[in-house]
Structure 1
Amino acid sequence: MTNLTTSNLKRLLAEASPGPWEALATYDDGAPRPDTTREMRAAGKYLGIMHTPNADLAAAAPDLAQEVIRLREELIGWANNEAQAHNTLVKQAQAAGSAGIITTHKTIYNRILEILGDHDDQL
């Protein structure tokens, strides 16, 4: 299985050719390719030939990896906010003499962690 950890995605992006990546359906002279081959380029640099739809997915891969990283960071930030809100409510309840509570914030926090899954050891 492909290693999709956040740290590996960041490493792959750092080592990859800079974008934008393209899967070109035409030759350099503008003539269309007569088959499913696509010329792969990154920032105008020739990378090789691939067939569609793999070529289109490969061209989108850097942007997809960046989006996965961004979404994970946003979810982790949200989870941290929910944990802080939960802890504040628990402290307020304890100060008021309550034994402790399970809040919506804790439920949201747990659901975010479930969505994130075991993608990295950064949590």
Structure 2
Amino acid sequence: MTITYEWRGDVDNSALNKLHAEGFDHPVGQTDWRARLQRHSLGWVCAWEDDRLVGFVNVAWDGGVHAFVLDTVVAQRNRSNGVGAALVKAAAEGCRAAGCEWLHVDFEEHLRSFYFDACGFRGTAAGLIAL
């Protein structure tokens, strides 16, 4: 398995909608990812196995020094092989190159070991309002 990672890679809406549905267990949507990413994101990373999209992470930002990891997803058959951690590492490198000083992530408790142990995040105090 050879996986390549691409910062701000070409996004195929159909492929990303399928991957997102698989990863987040919902029906395949019709999101225009290209438009969303261009409008709101500092960057994103695509993971490719040959010509098949097998991983993705989006990086939103505040236009300054803070970036935010969103939508980290890896195809089922490629999980537990370091693809997710490599996506986040490539995202961090892209953020650093863009002049960001901080990379934030929110996650559900079952993902704690992934983000803390595999990706190197550390705990901080934060707050959340459900809207």
Note whether the superposition's TM-score is higher than 0.5. no
Tell which structure's C-alpha radius of gyration is larger. 1
What TM-score, normalized to structure 2? 0.22
User: Comparing both structures, which one devotes a greater share of its residues to strand?
Assistant: 2
